[in-house]
Amino acid sequence: MRTHRAPRPRKLSEVIAAAQNAARFSSTKAIEILAPLTSKDAASRLPTLLRQSLEGVAETISTAGAGASGGIVGRSFIYVVVLPTFLFWLYACFWQSQRYVAETRLTVRSQHENKTGTDAASMISKFTGGGADASSQDAFIVLNYVKSRAIVADLGGRDYMEKKFARSGIDYFSRLGKNANAEDVWKYWLSHITASVDTLAGILTVRTDAFLPKDALDVARDIVRLSEQLVNKITLRNRRDALSRAELEVTLSRHALAEAREKTLQFRNKNVIIDPGSRAASIGEQMGKLTLERIDLVNALSTFSSSLDSDAPSQRLQRTRLAAIDQQLAELKKKLAGAEGSDTVSAQIASYERLKLDEQFAEKLYSIAQTSYDRARQELEKQQLYLITVVEPTLPESATYPKVVVNTVLLFCALLVAWAAISLIYASIEDHMV
């Protein structure tokens, strides 16, 4: 069983046909308008071309909509599309103020900037945008500053903006309002500057427009000046922070060294000794002498034991001296390395060596901190970041804006699309109400 589609209502069909014819005719005329504009007499031919195109579109709409509600489609096209476009063209040609553009290109370079890698991986990362170097990051800092409220305040705020963008010769719709608040001033600033960063080269491009060539040049130069001040401020702050950190490290290491030396002094005063190592050496010498003397006594007793009686006075005297030497050796051994007590030489040596190690470590840290401080103080006198002006701003000779042809054609096309959509919606609603 075949299904037949219901016929479209006549009124809706006429409106759709009118919109299609208008769109087709307007696109054709838009091509005819834009094609000859490359010639030298483009400006003089523009009013005639626009008039012919608008008359042709109006005639097409009037013919297509003659039977649809007494020509409502044609009249709405005149009021919604043709008249606003014509009024905008008059405004753009005879009233809208001309704007002049000044361009400058900046880049930020570091004194210790690393060389870019030349291997395949680094080149691929760079071209894919994954290898943004430090210069690109610094350029983005300047970019954010140029588009921020801070630069407006640094330029002079509302007074500066009114001086450049609120002159008496500027048309009403283009000038900065007299009662504009800070938010409006900032938005107006953003509408008159464009800034972008080339991530591969790290170059920031800034374009400023104003209503006088000198104003555009002055604004571009002020942006360069303030951007350089920003870079210098960042550099100075980084160097001062590094110097402050180095000075803090020197102070802390100096206190640590003084504390370590104070502990060593307390140890010496407590044990009444300068160096436990020298005391151990002295005890070792005494033990060596007593051991030699004991060996001589033992040899003498062995030699005369066969010829003299053990109760002989000389033998008793030697045995007494041998016992005294053994007692002295035992006492010296206890002083040198006893099992208990912290006053032994071995315990003193362990404590002293630990204190001396802490003192040497503190001295090393103090030396490193002092070296870092001297280096930071030397770096404070150097410029680490530089703002390089790749392209100096120059005085513009001709106006860049307004683009009368492009803006008029774009407005015409936008209004035409909006009118066609509204006409279709209106015709559809009217057909459903019948």
8-40 per-position pLDDT tens digit: 444 445 545 555 555 555 555 544 544 544 444
Q: What is the 3-state secondary structure (H, E, C) of 366-433?
A: HHHHHHHHHHHHHHHCCCCEEEEEEECCCCCCCCCECCHHHHHHHHHHHHHHHHHHHHHHHHHHHHHH
What pLDDT, on the 0 to 100 scale, is given for residue 285? 80
Higher pLDDT, 418 or 321: 418
pLDDT at 232 over 70: yes
Mean pLDDT value across residues 219-245: 88
Q: How far apart are CA 145 and CA 345, in angstroms?
A: 69
Q: Which pair of structure tokens corresponds to residue 128?
A: 């894919």
Express as a percent the part of the chain with pLDDT over 70. Answer: 71
Q: What is the pLDDT of residue 48?
A: 56
For the segment 62-80, the average pLDDT, to the nearest whole number, is 64
How far is the C-alpha of 399 from the C-alpha of 336, rounded, in Å? Answer: 99
Angstrom distance (rounded) from CA 346 to CA 280: 8
| H/E stretch holding 11 | helix 10-34
Of 155 and 380, the structure prediction assigns the larger pLDDT to 155
- Answer whether residue 208 shows pLDDT above 80: yes
**3-state SS, one letter per residue, for 148-204:** CHHHHHHHCHHHHHHHHHCCCCCCCCCCCCCCCCHHHHHHHHHHCEEEEEECCCCEE
What's the rounded Cα separation, in Å, for the pair 419 and 259? 87
pLDDT of residue 129: 46
| Residues 93-115 as b or e (16 or more Cβ within 10 Å = b) | eeebbbbbbbbbbbbbeeeebee
User: What pTM does this model have?
Assistant: 0.59
Average pLDDT (128-151) is 78
pLDDT greater than 60 at residue 126 = no
- Give the pLDDT score at 34: 47
Q: What is the pLDDT of residue 212?
A: 93
pLDDT of res. 32: 53
Model confidence at 339, pLDDT cuts 50, 70, 90, reads low
Q: Which pLDDT belongs to residue 226?
A: 95
**pLDDT tens per residue across span 273-320:** 777 777 767 777 877 888 888 887 777 777 766 666 666 677 778 778
Q: Measure CA 16 to chain center.
A: 55
pLDDT band at 422 (very low <50, low <70, confident <90, very high): confident
Higher pLDDT, 307 or 78: 78
* Rounded (10°) angle between helices 83-94 and 42-64: 170
Q: Is 344 left (phi over 0), alpha (psi -120 to 50) or beta?
A: beta
The most confident of 11-20, 183-192, 402-411, by mean pLDDT = 183-192
Asked if pLDDT for residue 118 goes beyond 70, the answer is no
> Averaged over 359-372, what is the pLDDT?
89
User: What is the average pLDDT value for the chain, to the nearest integer?
Assistant: 76
Q: Which residue has the higher pLDDT, 238 or 179?
A: 179
Confidence of residue 7 (pLDDT cuts 50, 70, 90): very low
- What single-letter amino acid sits at 380? L
User: Average pLDDT of 70-87?
Assistant: 81
Comparing 32 with 360, the larger pLDDT belongs to 360
